[in-house]
């Protein structure tokens, strides 16, 4: 049996994010969900993770349904605390449910799986030389995304659309804009984008391949745990 911990930057559980990855796990896997914001109220979250102008940001949804933006550096510290807890509880692998860049995260014994690394490496290898369009949730995330994707050639085009919008109109507009600019594949660069977003784009007339971060993470994580 493999004990797998799913760690979200928000509040657990986030089955909408983990579902695609869980489907790829061995049937004998035991799953544990944890969140860096578990047990925190809106005021405490706002105080501890306040977003500062010009600093990298993250977006997530709380169990209440509220959407919050968070300071990435402050979240890195909170994630490390959660990783240490999961590690001490004996999980075999920890899957981070976020595509943010957290270079200092470490696990003492569990395999730490970071979608940030998996997604960019996969796209760079599989779609090598193909013009790619990348969609991220917030405009202020684009500069950090450009840095993250700088190893991909040709350099991707970027657009923004929240995965937590009431409908998919903004996402469809962003996708079509990228395709019009020459993208021959799209990457939804946030774990909040689910398979339903990919299907919505297909139904909306987007014909190029659409890759979700959770789908890529699931495909690459499953074999690691068999």
Q: What is the pLDDT of residues 149-185, one digit of tens each?
A: 998 999 999 999 999 999 999 999 999 999 999 999 9
Exposed e or buried b per residue across 62-71, where buried means at least 16 C-beta atoms within 10 angstroms of its C-beta: beeeebbbbb
The domain spans of the chain are 3-114+216-225, 118-214
Q: What is the CATH number of domain 118-214?
A: 3.40.50.2300
- Angstrom distance (rounded) from CA 2 to CA 14: 20
Integer-rounded Cα radius of gyration of the chain: 17
Question: What is the reported pLDDT for 47?
Answer: 95
Question: What is the reported pLDDT for 155?
Answer: 94
State the CB neighbour count (10 A cutoff) for residue 199: 12
* CATH architecture of the region 3-114+216-225: 3-Layer(aba) Sandwich (3.40)
The first and second tokens of residue 155, run together, are 């350099």
At 43, is the pLDDT very low, low, confident or very high (cuts 50, 70, 90)?
A: very high
Beta carbons of 133 and 145 less than 8 angstroms apart: no
Identical fold for domains 3-114+216-225 and 118-214, yes or no, is yes
pLDDT in tens, 62-89: 999 999 999 999 999 999 999 999 999 9
């Amino acid at each position: 049996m493999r004990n797998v911990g799913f760690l979200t930057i928000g509040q657990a559980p986030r089955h909408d994010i983990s579902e695609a990855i869980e489907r790829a796990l061995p049937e004998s896997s035991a799953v544990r969900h944890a969140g860096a914001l578990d047990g925190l109220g809106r005021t405490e979250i706002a105080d501890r993770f306040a977003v500062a102008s010009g600093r990298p940001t993250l977006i997530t949804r709380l169990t209440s349904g509220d959407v919050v933006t968070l300071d990435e550096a402050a979240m890195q510290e909170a994630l490390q605390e959660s990783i240490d807890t999961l590690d001490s509880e004996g999980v075999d692998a920890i899957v981070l449910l976020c595509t943010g860049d957290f270079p200092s995260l470490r696990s003492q014994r569990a395999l730490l799986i970071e979608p940030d690394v998996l997604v960019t490496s996969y796209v760079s290898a599989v779609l090598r030389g193909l013009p790619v369009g990348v969609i991220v949730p917030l405009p202020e995330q684009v500069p950090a995304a450009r840095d993250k994707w700088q190893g991909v050639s040709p350099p991707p085009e970027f657009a923004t659309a929240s995965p937590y919008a009431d409908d998919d109109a903004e996402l469809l507009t962003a996708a079509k804009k990228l395709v019009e600019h020459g993208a021959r594949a799209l990457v939804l660069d946030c774990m909040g984008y689910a398979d339903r977003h990919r299907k919505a784009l297909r139904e909306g007339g987007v014909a190029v391949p659409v890759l979700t971060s959770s789908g890529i993470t699931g495909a690459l994580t499953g074999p690691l745990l068999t």
